[in-house]
Amino acid sequence: MDSKEVVLLKKALERQKRARQQAEKILEEKSHELYEVASHLRESNAKLENLLSEKTSELDGVFINIIDPYVVMDLSFNVVSMNLSAKNFLGYDNNIEEVNLWKMVHKDFMEYTIESFSSLKEVGKLKNYRAKILVKDGVEKWVEINASLVYNKEKLPVAAQGIVRDITQEMEVRELLSEQKRQLDVIVNSSPLGIILADSNKILKVNYTMTSLLGYTLNSFMKMNVKDFTDKESIELANEFSTKLNNGEIDNYTIHQKFIKSDGEKLQVKLSVNAVRNIYREISYIVMMVEDITQQLEAEERLKSEREKYSGIIANMNLGLLEANREGVIQMVNQSFCDMIGFEESELLNTDAKDFVSLEDKNKVADNIKTRANGNSDSYEVHVITKSGEKRHWLISVAPRYNKNHEVIGSIGITLDITEQKELELQKEKLVKDLENSNQGLQEYAHIVSHDLKSPLRSISALATWLSDDYKDVLDEGGKQNLELMQEKVASMDKLIHGILEYSTANSSALDNSKVDLNSVIADIGETIYIPDHVQLKIPKSLPTIMADRIKVHQVFQNIIGNAVVHIEREVGLVEVLYKDTGDYWQFTISDNGVGIPEEYHKKIFDIFQSIGNNERSTGIGLSIVKKIIDRYQGKVWVDSVVGEGTQFYFTIKKDHNELGNYENSSSDKKGR
């Protein structure tokens, strides 16, 4: 043995002596404390002291060399000894205070601790006891304890010793991993995509979506390979990529496949495959994501069909179509647009749309391009200069064009050449203006003619009166009758002139609309016109109050009622005024039991100077005035009559009438609206 070994042994002996002295001092202090414990523990403590005394050397070595917390307790969980690590970990010092390990056990682990301690007493050892305890200040810690019993000379257990390992961090990590696994399971099972985990031979796991997509049970999937439910037409493509994956050429791929469901139906899917490799680049697992794209492909097919259809329509429609960017630069035109403007498509693309409009309209187009950036649509007219230099009038309807993010990227416009219509419109305006001037002249002429004609008529009437007065004693009966006949003809002529004047102004003067009580109008007519004694004018049901020109409405009712009362030859004559509300219109009926009107006159009577028979009282103007007034109220007038039974005149007045309405369809031969 060399000198170095001797030196080392001496140093080790010295350390052992110091440790022994320290241990003896600790045991002496502990013995003093145990002596003062309650009387019911004295016997057990005495036995324990004997045991500890016998094994002093063994325990001293353990206390000094163990890094983990080390505790000795009696069979009532009272700590007898504990090393420095135990004191630091638990926060208690048995030399200063009484320490009972049972009181540290978390409430959730008390039953488990009782069972474990019972096992310790039966077997003599306790391995991997894991529980949660409360150390100093109530801090929770996870511990793992390996313990064994301590026996006395009689081989009876008197204490237990154990090493305590702090596994709090380990348990937290395990709990975190467990929680992450639960979350991952939730994500996988809630995914709208089907998920398959497989190795090279079989399926290891599928999620709920996958079972729903194909209809197989989980147990069925566990017995299958992906090829078992892949359509034969798709296997060749899948094999091609699978080979590259196995050879390490690729780590993932995405393809379209056809899978066969449990009921035999084929499902179009997008299959995304990813390889999970180990450190040697060998495939450990294959993760597959399955998306049902059956409806998507069907929609794409329909969209393609619609696109082809509308592309054909756009290319061949008579309307011009163009697309431009936000600055108004042309990006697409159809053939009709090219035909309308005379340029080829290649000449139009990437040019400014403003280059093809007249100088006075350039600013208008520029302003409209700016409004398109705000998402506004509009229509406007411009003058366009064709390639041949011809100036054409176009109507343009433009709307903003958006990208997939709903951002305005330009505009799309439809163009219509309205040059001919514009020319016709200008011609129409000129004709209307000429017609207005002509009507104005005719009205003025009618007033002049009526005034000029009435003046000699008044003179003739005066002369006839003077002759009758001056020569009444000289004239015989024939002469007197001739003078009376002359007066009647003069009166008839005056009535005719008055009718012509009314007809000429029937649709020229402005309508003075106000509330008109028709019951009052009929009452006034009954008092002002001549009604034979055998004829009655009745209103079976009260008439409404309407918005109209009172004078015009009075003319309508008076002309029809006036015609009716003088054409009744029955002993008891009856004229009734009726109405009904048809929604947008008031419909009125003036019915009489007179002689009736032959069918061939049902249309003619509304034309000027048309009357029935040789009735000299009729000027043939009254009903034509009625028609002109009803036209202004956007209504219709017609007649039903049977000769010998009576006549019913019908006419309608629009409630919300427009004096500038369209009269072209107001033919008198059609019945009410």
Say how far apart CA 144 and CA 69 lie, in whole Å.
11
Average pLDDT, stretch 490-498? 59
Helix or strand run (H / E) with residue 44: helix 39-54
- Mean pLDDT check: name the lowest of 41-45, 477-481, 594-598, 639-643: 41-45
DSSP annotation of 357 = B
- Residues 328-384 have pLDDT tens digits of 899 888 888 888 899 998 999 999 988 888 888 888 888 888 888 788 888 888 899
422 located within any domain: no
- Residues 548-582 have pLDDT tens digits of 888 788 888 988 898 888 888 888 999 999 999 99
Same domain, 320 and 233: no
Q: Is 60 exceeded by the pLDDT of residue 61?
A: no
Contact 502, 440 (CB under 8 A): no
Structure tokens at 136: 């100093």
**Residue showing tokens 């140093």:** 11
pLDDT of residue 13: 67
Strand order in the sheet with 79-82: 79-82, 70-74, 157-166, 140-151, 125-134
Rg, the chain, Cα only: 59
Structure tokens at 15: 């350390």
Q: Across the strands, what pairs with 134?
A: 140
Average pLDDT, stretch 473-482? 76
Q: Is the dihedral of CA 660, 662, 668, 670 positive or negative?
A: negative
pLDDT of residue 254: 92
70 located within any domain: yes
Reported in sequence order, the residue ranges of 293-341 that DSSP labels E, i.e. its strands, are 320-325, 330-333
Say how far apart CA 172 and CA 178 lie, in whole Å.
10
Same domain, 311 and 268: no
Q: List, in sequence order, the alpha helices (H) in 540-621.
A: 550-565
Give backbone dihedrals phi and psi of 660, rounded to 5 degrees, phi first: -95, 15
Range of the structural domain that residue 528 is part of: 511-654
Same domain, 518 and 574: yes
DSSP annotation of 96 = T
430 located within any domain: no
Same domain, 329 and 294: no
Same domain, 293 and 311: no
Say how far apart CA 213 and CA 267 lie, in whole Å.
8
Structure tokens at 609: 């100077």
Could you tell me the CA-to-CA distances from 9 to 15, 16, 121 in Å, in that order? 10, 10, 40
77 located within any domain: yes
35 located within any domain: yes
Average pLDDT, stretch 95-100? 92
First-to-final CA distance of the chain: 138
In terms of residues, how long is the chain?
673
Closest CA to 229 of 252, 203, 208, 209: 203
Same domain, 150 and 200: no
Say how far apart CA 269 and CA 289 lie, in whole Å.
10
Say how far apart CA 336 and CA 173 lie, in whole Å.
73
Q: Across the strands, what pairs with 196?
A: 206, 288
Say how far apart CA 152 and CA 380 lie, in whole Å.
113
Same domain, 265 and 310: no
Closest CA to 379 of 362, 361, 398: 398
Structure tokens at 222: 């566990």
Q: List, in sequence order, the alpha helices (H) in 95-150.
A: 110-123
Average pLDDT, stretch 114-136? 92
Same domain, 516 and 643: yes
Q: Is 70 exceeded by the pLDDT of residue 327?
A: yes
- Strand 585-592, strand 203-206: pairing: unpaired
Q: Which amino acid is at 32?
A: H
- Residues 453-468 have pLDDT tens digits of 556 666 676 777 777 7
pLDDT of residue 7: 61
Same domain, 291 and 326: no
435 located within any domain: no
The 3-state DSSP class for residue 2 equals coil
pLDDT of residue 300: 79
Q: Is 60 exceeded by the pLDDT of residue 661?
A: no
498 located within any domain: no
Residue 370: Cβ-neighbour burial (10 angstroms; 0-12, 13-18, 19+) = exposed
pLDDT of residue 553: 86
**Other beta carbons less than 10 A from residue 90's beta carbon:** 23
Last residue of a domain, one of 298, 313, 338: 298
Same domain, 520 and 650: yes
Structure tokens at 470: 């001056």
pLDDT of residue 295: 83
Structure tokens at 506: 């029937």
- Residues 504-557 have pLDDT tens digits of 555 555 567 889 999 999 998 888 788 898 999 999 999 999 988 887 888 889
Say how far apart CA 454 and CA 427 lie, in whole Å.
39
**Other beta carbons less than 10 A from residue 168's beta carbon:** 14
- Strand 637-642, strand 646-654: pairing: antiparallel
**Any idea what the CATH number is for the domain that residue 70 is in?**
3.30.450.20
Strand order in the sheet with 194-198: 203-206, 194-198, 283-292, 266-277, 252-260
- Residues 429-448 have pLDDT tens digits of 888 777 666 666 555 555 55
pLDDT of residue 126: 92
pLDDT of residue 235: 86
Contact 508, 445 (CB under 8 A): no
Say how far apart CA 74 and CA 90 lie, in whole Å.
17
Average pLDDT, stretch 314-333? 82
Same domain, 221 and 324: no
pTM for this predicted structure? 0.33
Give backbone dihedrals phi and psi of 287, rounded to 5 degrees, phi first: -105, 125
146: Cβ–Cβ under 8 A, 6 or more apart, which residues? Answer: 125, 126, 127, 128, 129, 162, 163, 165
Average pLDDT, stretch 200-206? 83
127 located within any domain: yes
Average pLDDT, stretch 150-163? 89
The total number of structural domains in the chain stands at 5
Same domain, 557 and 620: yes
Query: Considering the chain, what is the average pLDDT of its residues?
Result: 80
